[in-house]
Amino acid sequence: MTLRIVFMGTPDFAVPTLTEIVAQGHEVVAVYTQPPRPAGRGMAERPSPVQVQAERFGIPVRTPKTLRDPEEQARFAALEADAAVVVAYGLILPQAVLDAPKLGPFNLHGSLLPRWRGAAPIQRAVMAGDAETGVMVMRMEAGLDTGPVAMGERIAIPPDMTAGQLHDRMALVGADLMVRALAALERGSLGLTPQPEAGITYAAKIDKAETRIDFSRPAAEVHNHIRGLSPFPGAWTEMPLGGRSERVKVLRSVVAEGAGPAGTLLDDRLTVATGDGALRLVELQRAGGKPVTADAFLRGASVPAGTRLQ
């Protein structure tokens, strides 16, 4: 037996799960994804990564701006899906949509629930310095990531891993987890466990106001901030370059030896003092440029010891 599935997802993170579901032979009767958005220098409308993959598979794609319209809900119900699989879709599912699939709607969430419910669980886990996180398949209900958990996998977060690296690892682990959950659902053996009441935290969407680096914080916290925002949207600081102050993203750092006034470079290799200890900046990106190593950055910029980063 194969399942009739409606897949609902939008970004790169969701693509491996869609691919695995198709590879397992399930019938994906429709893909729901966010509408194309203007992107790139020409601001041409660009379909989501999930839409691109769905069209490669020849799966019908729907891009409603909302699912609150009763007509749109009726179109969804008419698909007569056994299950809906939701991976970073980006729209709230009304109760009528949640109730439509015969066996339920299932979400792949990028944290060890109930820690990091919400919009940015991968980045928040890294920014908080968590040593591990995970992916979980959850049966969806009306609350924000509150539903009972079916299956989960733990994933270690090494001390220098960026949110981008963790994202890619979790996307692959999550795809495998979801197809295992669907196999159990087919067999009628998928158990559900309510989330514990203790340990609930929320992963708020990343705000631009929090992307500026605060070197007055301890080195470990600044390091976690940098890697938690790498590669997107990128933590940044202002450097004096070519006689003017320029915003520069810092994409990688390592904790280093040294002390001094917070934000001051301690050597000619981009070692910067923090509120407690020091960091060496190892990958940077100037406005309009590509990410480069510290050595390559310094070949095109003079940033000597004593320079103050803002």
The predicted-structure confidence for 294-306, as pLDDT tens digits, reads as follows 999 999 888 999 9
Q: What is the mean pLDDT of the chain?
A: 95
pLDDT at 122: 97
Q: Is the pLDDT of residue 247 over 70?
A: yes
User: Quick one: tokens of 177?
Assistant: 């987890």
> Is 70 exceeded by the pLDDT of residue 163?
yes
Q: Would the pLDDT of 257 be above 80?
A: yes
Q: What is the band of 21 on the pLDDT scale with cuts at 50, 70, 90?
A: very high
Among 163, 100, 135, CA closest to 17: 135
Please compute the mean of the pLDDT values over residues 136-164 and round it to a whole number: 96
Domain with CATH 3.40.50.170 in the chain: 4-202
**Are 161 and 126 a contacting pair, CB within 8 Å?**
yes
CA dihedral 6, 10, 11, 17 (to 10 degrees): 0
Task: Kindly tell me if the per-residue pLDDT of 74 is higher than 70.
Answer: yes
Phi, psi of 77 (to 5 degrees): -65, -35
Residue 301: per-residue pLDDT:
87
Nearest to 124 by CA among 139, 137, 138, 109: 109
Under CATH, which architecture does the 4-202 domain have? 3-Layer(aba) Sandwich (3.40)
pLDDT level of residue 310 (50, 70, 90 thresholds):
confident
The span from the CA of 257 to the CA of 278, in Å, is 6
User: Residue 43: is its pLDDT beyond 90?
Assistant: no
Q: Of all residues in the chain, what percent carry a pLDDT higher than 90? A: 93
Q: What is the mean pLDDT of residues 27-40?
A: 92
* Structure tokens, 49: 């990564």
* The predicted structure's pLDDT at residue 73: 97
Is the predicted pLDDT of residue 291 greater than 80, yes or no?
Answer: yes
Sign of CA dihedral 209, 215, 217, 223: positive
**What's the pLDDT score for residue 1?**
63
**What's the CATH class of domain 208-299?**
alpha beta
Residue with more model confidence, 96 or 244:
96
Rounded Cα distance, 165 and 230, in Å: 9
Q: What is the predicted pLDDT for the residue at 32?
A: 98
Tell whether the model's pLDDT for residue 227 goes beyond 80: yes
pLDDT reading at 40 higher than 80 = no
Q: Compute the average pLDDT of residues 159-164.
A: 97
Q: Which helix (H) or strand (E) holds 27?
A: strand 27-32
> Residue by residue, what is the 3-state secondary structure of 195-254?
CCCCCCCEECCCCHHHCECCCCCEHHHHHHHHHHCCCCCCEEEEEEECCEEEEEEEEEEE
Rg of the chain over CA atoms, in angstroms?
22
Residues of the chain with CATH 3.10.25.10: 208-299
Report pTM: 0.94
Res 58 pLDDT > 70:
yes
Q: Identify residue 105 by its one-letter amino acid code.
A: P
pLDDT tier at 250, thresholds 50, 70, 90 = very high
